[in-house]
A = this chain, B = another copy of it.
Amino acid sequence: MLANLKELSEKLGLSQTTVSRALNGYPEVSETTRQRVIDAAREHNYAPDSSARRLATGKTRTIGHVVPISKHDMINPHFTDFIAGAGAVYNRRGYDMLISVVDADKETETYRAMKRNRRVDGVIVHGPVASDARPGLLHSLGLPFVVHGRTLQDDDSYSWVDVNNRRAFAEATRYLIGLGHRRIALVNGWEHMVFARRRREGYEEALREAGIAVDPLLMSSNEMIEPVGHEAMTAFLASDDPPTAVLVASALSALGVMGAVREHGLVPGTDISIISYDDKLSFLDIGPDGMGLTVIRSGIGEAGRHCADMLIDMIEGRRGIVHMLLEASLVPGTSTGPPAGVAVSGKSAAGR
C-alpha cells in the first residue's frame, strides 16, 4: 500500500528516475532491476497517480464525448452501442472516456472548456448536421477530433467514419424495384441530419434510374421513434394510391411501421414489403434472427471502434486525416417479396 514513487524507490534503494523508467518500459534499465521494480510495485500495489503523470507529460489520455440533450430529454438510443464499441478500444489502448451530457445550446462552450482546461486529448463528434459548426470550431481550437458521420461540405478537411448511406438506400430501393415494386415509400429521419439526407438521395437515385417518379406523398421525414413511424405508415396506407413497399430509416421507426401494417391487416412480405435500416442495436434485433425483417445493416458498435482507433492514432501522431466509408449490407428477411398483384402472375408465369 505505498502511496507514491518516492516511497517505492526508497524501499528499493533506487532513484525515482530508475523506478519510473523501469515501470514505463524504457530500454535503458537492466532487466534485473526492471523485474525487481515490477515485483515491488505489484507487491505494494503501486500505480502512478494519473493526475501527476498527466501534468508531467501534458497528455491526458482521455477522449471526450459531448452528448447534447435536447428539449424532450431525448438521448439518442444509438449512443449506447456506439460507446460500447469505442469504449472497448479506449480500454485496450489505455485511454479513458469522458462523457459530458449538456444542454444542446451549450455544446460549443463545452468543447471550448475541454480545450481550456486541457481536460482531453481529443473528442468524437456525434450526429453531424448539414451545416455543422463543430468541425470548424474544433479546428480553430486545435483539438483533435473524428466525426461519426459527415457534414455536407468540407468533409475532406477532417477525419470521419461514416456509412455509405446513399448507396445503402439506393441498393435497398433497387432490391425492391427488382422485386417488381414501383410504389415505394420512405420513412426517414429528420433531414437536417446528414445521414437522413443522404438516404433520401440514394432512394431517389434508384427510383430515377428505374424511371419511377419521385412522389413527395410517399416520403416522410421525422423523428426516428415508434409512434412517428406508426403515424407515417398509417398515413401512407390510408392514401388513394398506397405504397406496396416501404423503406424505413431506423429500428425504432420500423417498430411503428410494423404496427401500422398489422393494424391494416397486411402481412409483411406478402401484402407489403418492408426494408429497414438496422444499426444492430444490442437491445433490439429487428433483423432475420429477431423480428425477421429484411434489413440494411451496418453495426454502430463497429463505427465506434473505428472512430476511437482513428482518433487515438491521430493524437499519437501516427495518422493524419482519414476517411472511412463503411458499406452496409442487405440482409434478406421475411418482410420482402413481390408486390401482391404481380407476385402470383409473375411466379406462375415463371413456373410454367
- Contact present for A96 and B87 (CB under 8 Å): no
Of chain B, the residue at the smallest CB distance from A50 is B117
Q: Give the interface size class of chain A.
A: 35 or more
Residue of B nearest to A90 (CB): B101
| Chain copies in complex | 2
Closest to A54 in B: B51
Chain A, interface SS category: mixed
Cβ–Cβ < 8 Å partners of A67 in chain B: 84, 87
- When C-beta atoms are compared, the residue in chain B nearest to A118 turns out to be B49
Q: Please tell me if A204 contacts chain B, counting CB pairs below 8 Å.
A: no
Q: Cβ of A290 < 8 Å from any Cβ of B?
A: yes
Q: Is the CB of B255 within 8 A of A50?
A: no
Whether A136 sits at the interface, judged by CB under 8 Å, is no
Indicate which residue in B47, B72, B99, B225 contacts A87 across the interface (CB closer than 8 Å): B99
Q: Which of B47, B72, B119 contacts A117 (CB 8 A)?
A: B47
**Residues 61-89 (chain A) with a chain B CB within 8 angstroms:** 67, 69, 72-77, 79-81, 83-84, 87-88
Q: Given contacts A97-B99, A99-B97, are A227 and B118 in contact (CB under 8 A)?
A: no
A87 (CB) vs chain B CBs: closest residue: B101
Q: Known contacts A72-B282, A81-B75; is A100 also within 8 Å of B99 by CB?
A: no
Give the residue of B55, B113, B284 whose beta carbon is less than 8 angstroms from that of A47.
B113
Q: Is A30 an interface residue (CB 8 A)?
A: no
- Having A47-B113, A50-B118, A225-B283, one finds 7 other A-B pairs with CB under 8 Å, namely A49-B117, A69-B88, A74-B282, A75-B81, A75-B84, A79-B80, A227-B285
Q: CB-CB < 8 A to A235: which residues of B?
A: none
